[in-house]
């Protein structure tokens, strides 16, 4: 097999990447759309799309400077993608000649933008000629500087006035690959030895949490198929530890993991304790992933496909000792792993998701027995999905007591919030944690 047969041509990858970009712009998740891409194209398209999303603010500003009137949607996406891929030579995956040549080829081979091929070619060649002037002109734009929507930037300026720049810069970096050792299967010491024997270098380690110096294919991890280890960000690994801390739960204790897919936190709860765990998930396909995760790790839980807020539809009336509510949110804390999120979300989503979080808290709190604990968490760095939720919940539930909680976990420590203090502890995703205890009536 020749090299050209092994790898689809760049122009073809660009065509499919534009389709992915437009689907996200239309409101579909990048992860969901990527699953529809042909296997032979997926790796290349994902690399191009991720690069594009991380540079999209600059690319859109440059396109605005090159053409005051936007071309049709497909041609606009193709032009912006090319600009995103070539504006900064220090991170450009291809040289300028290749990028222009293959972008124009992709346009010519696409019926909907064939008529725009010459326009795209002219814009890209003008950019090369006038690069310095165009970059200087667009550098006055906050979107171009930080490659995030303006509303997102302004929200972070309000929520984190002393660290918004650090947060935006961190969101454009590549995240580390962090593992969680399944200590029911293997000790951390033994697993570290297996990593060393496999030539996989570790950059940090704390208990069962291991951070790799370089990412590796999941199936290349020693014992992954046998359930020795899972891939889970360091901040996400705090959930099970926080919820189960303080007192041992016996085999008759009941733990609820609401909104549980894909099952990483459910599995961690089972790895750390002997309680009976119920994992809820509203989406049937995502619920199947919980079962697959547990099967690989050799663990068992009751997996229920239901809306956590619709408690009459699934609850048996027996109170839970612990509840983990990893609530739906903007996912603003994980944009370095999923760079499409910043362009997928709209500012109006914040109020809608915050209302959904409040409804889940309202529905699940009565299911907790006195003395029990509920851990509320989101993978968000916006206050409306964190500290502001805590304030509202405590005001409306006099039988709730806030226990020591990390609050907003950020790449760098920010000033303490009035109720829950921020606590940065390393290279991790953005998260929020609040642990509540139900007091006796």
Catalytic annotation, residues = 379
- The length of the chain in residues reads 441
Distance CA 191, CA 343 (A): 39
Distance CA 378, CA 218 (A): 25
Residue 216 burial (C-beta neighbours within 10 Å; 0-12, 13-18, 19+): middle
What residues does 204 pair with on adjacent strands? 211
Distance CA 260, CA 280 (A): 6
What residues does 205 pair with on adjacent strands? 210
11, 114 in Cβ contact below 8 A? no
Hey, what are 128's tokens?
């090369």
**Beta-strand pair 320-326/178-181:** unpaired
Number of other CB atoms surrounding residue 245 within 10 Å: 14
User: DSSP string spanning 155-197?
Assistant: HHHHH-TTTHHHHHHHHTSPPPPEEEE-TTT--HHHHHHHHHH
Least Cα distance to 324 among 241, 206, 380 occurs for 241
Q: How far is CA 71 from CA 48, 137, 243, 351, 421, in A?
A: 21, 21, 52, 33, 47
Q: Helices (DSSP H) in 308-401: which residue ranges?
A: 341-344, 348-364, 387-396
The residue whose two tokens read 């060649």 is 125
75, 119 in Cβ contact below 8 A? yes
Residues 6+ away with beta carbon under 8 Å from 118? none
């Amino acid at each position: 097999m020749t090299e050209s047969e092994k790898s689809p041509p760049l122009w073809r990858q660009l065509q499919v990447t534009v389709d992915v970009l437009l689907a996200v712009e239309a409101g579909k998740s990048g992860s969901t759309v990527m699953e529809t891409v042909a296997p032979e194209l997926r790796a290349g398209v994902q690399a191009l799309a991720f690069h594009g999303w991380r540079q999209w603010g600059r690319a859109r500003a440059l396109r605005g400077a090159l053409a005051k009137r936007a071309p049709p949607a497909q041609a606009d996406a193709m032009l912006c993608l090319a600009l995103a891929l070539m504006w900064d030579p220090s991170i450009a995956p291809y040289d300028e000649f290749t990028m222009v040549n293959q972008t124009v080829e992709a346009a010519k081979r696409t019926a909907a933008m064939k008529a725009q091929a010459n326009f795209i070619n002219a814009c890209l060649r003008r950019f090369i000629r006038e690069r310095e002037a165009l970059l200087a002109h667009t550098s006055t734009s906050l979107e171009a500087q930080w490659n995030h929507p303006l509303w997102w930037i302004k929200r972070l300026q309000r929520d984190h006035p002393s660290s918004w720049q650090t947060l935006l810069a961190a969101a454009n970096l590549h995240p580390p690959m962090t593992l969680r050792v399944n200590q029911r299967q293997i000790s951390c010491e033994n697993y570290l030895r297996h990593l060393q024997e496999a030539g996989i270098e570790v950059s940090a380690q704390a208990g069962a949490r291991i951070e790799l110096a370089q990412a590796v294919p999941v199936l290349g991890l020693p014992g992954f198929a046998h359930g020795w280890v899972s891939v889970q960000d360091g901040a996400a690994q705090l959930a099970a530890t926080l919820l189960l801390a303080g007192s041992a739960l016996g085999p008759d204790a009941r733990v609820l993991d609401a909104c549980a897919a894909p099952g990483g936190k459910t599995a961690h709860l089972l790895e750390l304790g002997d309680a009976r765990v119920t994992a809820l998930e509203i989406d049937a396909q995502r619920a199947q992933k919980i079962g697959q995760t547990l099967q690989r790790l050799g663990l068992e839980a009751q997996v229920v496909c239901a809306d956590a807020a619709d408690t009459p539809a699934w609850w048996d009336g027996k109170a839970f000792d612990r509840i983990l509510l990893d609530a739906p949110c903007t996912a603003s804390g994980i944009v370095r792993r999923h760079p499409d999120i910043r362009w997928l979300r709209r500012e109006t989503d914040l109020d809608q998701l915050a209302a959904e979080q409040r409804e889940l808290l309202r529905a699940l709190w009565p299911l907790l027995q006195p003395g029990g604990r509920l851990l509320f968490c989101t993978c968000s760095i916006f206050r409306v999905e964190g500290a502001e939720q805590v304030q509202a919940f405590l005001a409306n539930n006099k039988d709730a007591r806030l226990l020591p909680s990390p609050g907003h976990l950020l790449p760098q420590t920010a000033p303490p919030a009035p109720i829950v203090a921020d606590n940065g502890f390393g290279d991790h995703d953005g998260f929020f944690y609040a642990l509540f205890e139900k007091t006796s009536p």
